[in-house]
Amino acid sequence: SAPPKSQYELYTLTTWLLKEEMNGTLDGELATVLSSIATACKQIASLVTRAGISNLTGLAGAANIQGEDQKKLDVISNEVFCNALRASGRTGVIASEEEDLPVSVEETYSGNYVVVFDPLDGSSNIDAGISTGSIFGIYAPSEECSIGDMDNPEKMLENCILNVCQPGSSLLAAGYCLYSSSTVFVLTVGTGVYGFTYDSIVGEFVLSHPNMKVPESGKIYAFNEGNYCAWDQGLKDYINSLKDGSNFHGQPYSARYIGSLVGDFHRTLLYGGIYGYPGDSKNKTGKLRLLYECAPMSLIMEQAGGKGSTGVQRVLEVCPEAVHQRVPLFIGSPKEVDYLESFCK
Ligand code: P6P
C-alpha cells in the first residue's frame, strides 16, 4: 500500500513537472524551459512588489514597436525573461512584445524551443499597485526551416520569423504568472490547466489549483466600455443584452474590468463569464497581440473547457502573418463566447 502521506510533502511546480515527465506527457527539455520561465516570474514578482521603494515605477523613456511608452519594469522584465531563457540552454528563438524582431539564441545546445512572451502585461497598472502578469507560449522549432547560420543574418531573421509565426494550435505549452494579492503561476502542457501559488517562505510555486475548469457559464463581463461608441452595432446589441437582462441568463450581468489581461483572465477562468477586447472603428483588429497574448491564453482557456474566439473564428486556428499582429479577443465560458459569436456573424 502507498506510504502514509507525510505532513511535510510539498507538491511544487518542480514536483509536477517531474511527474508529467515520468508520465511521458512532458519532454524533459521542455520541462527545463518551463522551470526557467518560473524562475523569471519569481524574479519579476519580487521586482513588481518592490517597484515603489526601489525607484522602478514610471517610464523608461523609450517606446516599443507597438508605439507604447515602455515602463522601467517592461524593459527590466524583458531582460529577466531573455536571461532566463538563454540560461536554460534549450531555447532556440525568442519573440517578445518588447522586442521589435524575434531573436535567435546562440547559447542553445539542446531542445531549441521557440518561446513567445509578454514579459509584463498590464504594466500601466504598476504605479498604482494593481494586478499585472507575464504571459508565455512555447512551440517546437518549425520543421520547415532551421534557424540557419550566423553568416547570413537576413536569412536567419527570416527563419526566426517563420519559427515564431505558428498557429496557436501548434503550441506545446502556454501559461501566465499573475502578480496580484498573490502570485499565481498557471500553465498547460496539453493535459489540463494547473495553478501554483507562490510561497515566498519556501521560495516555491506550490500546487493550489489542480485541473482547473472554467464554469460552463458565468455572470461577469469584462470589456472596456469606454470604447462603446467605436464598436459596431452587433457588439453594442450584445453588451446591451448583458446589461438589460435580455440574454440567455434572463438577468443582467456584473461588469468587472481591471485593465490587465492576466487579472481579468484569471478571474474569468475561476468565476466564469467573458473577457473581450473587440476591434472597433479606430482599430479593426483590436489591441491585443495574437502571438504572445491571445493564442497562449486561448490554449489555456480551451484546456480548461472554455473558448477563445476572434468573434468569427477560433483564435488557435489563426496563423500569424506578422510577429506583432493583433486580433480581436473574446475568451471565457463556452456559453458566453457562443452567445457573443451569435452577434458577430
Ligand atoms: P485598455 C494592457 O495594456 C493590455 O494589453 C491588457 O493587459 C489589458 O486587458 C488591455 O491592454 C487594457 O487596454 O485599452 O482597456 O486600457
Residues 311, 330: Cα–Cα separation, whole Å: 7
User: Ligand 1 pocket: which of 73, 135, 224 to mutate (most atoms <8 Å of CB)?
Assistant: 224
pLDDT of residue 148: 63
Residues 136, 38: Cα–Cα separation, whole Å: 11
CB-based pocket (< 6 A), ligand 1:
121-122, 124, 224, 259-261, 264, 287-288
Q: Torsion over CA of 36, 303, 264 and 13, rounded to 10 degrees?
A: -30
**Nearest atom, ligand 1, residue 262 CA:** 7
Q: How confident is the model at residue 185 (pLDDT cuts 50, 70, 90)?
A: very high
Instruction: Quote the ligand 1 centre to 39 CA distance (angstroms).
Output: 25
Residues 143, 238: Cα–Cα separation, whole Å: 42
Q: How confident is the model at residue 2 (pLDDT cuts 50, 70, 90)?
A: low
pLDDT of residue 110: 81
Q: How confident is the model at residue 54 (pLDDT cuts 50, 70, 90)?
A: confident
Q: How confident is the model at residue 149 (pLDDT cuts 50, 70, 90)?
A: low
Instruction: Quote the ligand 1 centre to 260 CA distance (angstroms).
Output: 6
Nearest CA to ligand 1 atom 14: 224
Q: DSSP alpha helices (H): ranges in the chain?
A: 13-22, 28-49, 72-88, 153-164, 233-244, 261-271, 295-303, 334-344
Over the stretch 12-41, which tens digit does the pLDDT of each residue have?
999 999 999 999 999 999 999 999 999 999
Angle at 273 between CA 279 and CA 192, to 5 degrees: 100
User: Ligand 1 pocket: which of 277, 330, 331 to mutate (most atoms <8 Å of CB)?
Assistant: 277
Residue whose C-alpha is closest to residue 85's, from 51, 62, 119, 56: 119
139 DSSP β-pair partners = 114
Q: Considering only 7-11, 21-25, 164-168, 299-303, which range has the smallest mean pLDDT?
A: 7-11
Instruction: Quote the ligand 1 centre to 186 CA distance (angstroms).
Output: 20
Q: Kindly tell me if the per-residue pLDDT of 345 is higher than 80.
A: no
pLDDT of residue 147: 65
**Nearest atom, ligand 1, residue 258 CA:** 9
Q: What's the mean pLDDT in 6-11?
A: 83
pLDDT of residue 271: 98
The burial class, CB within 10 Å (0-12 / 13-18 / 19+), for 166 is buried
pLDDT of residue 18: 96
Q: Kindly tell me if the per-residue pLDDT of 1 is higher than 70.
A: no
143: which residues sit within 8 A by CB, 6+ positions away?
A: none
Q: Residue type at 58? A: G
pLDDT of residue 272: 98
Over the stretch 78-121, which tens digit does the pLDDT of each residue have?
999 999 999 999 999 999 999 999 988 877 778 799 999 999 99
Instruction: Quote the ligand 1 centre to 290 CA distance (angstroms).
Output: 14
Q: How confident is the model at residue 51 (pLDDT cuts 50, 70, 90)?
A: confident
Instruction: Quote the ligand 1 centre to 264 CA distance (angstroms).
Output: 10
Nearest CA to ligand 1 atom 1: 259
Nearest CA to ligand 1 atom 2: 122
Q: Considering only 18-32, 141-155, 198-212, 281-295, which range has the smallest mean pLDDT?
A: 141-155
Q: How confident is the model at residue 160 (pLDDT cuts 50, 70, 90)?
A: confident
Q: Average pLDDT over the chain, rounded to whole?
A: 93
Packing angle between helix 233-244 and helix 334-344, nearest 10 degrees?
140
130: which residues sit within 8 A by CB, 6+ positions away?
A: 122, 258, 259, 260, 263
Residues 308, 120: Cα–Cα separation, whole Å: 21
Over the stretch 284-312, which tens digit does the pLDDT of each residue have?
999 999 999 999 999 999 999 999 999 99
Residues 88, 111: Cα–Cα separation, whole Å: 10
**Nearest atom, ligand 1, residue 118 CA:** 5
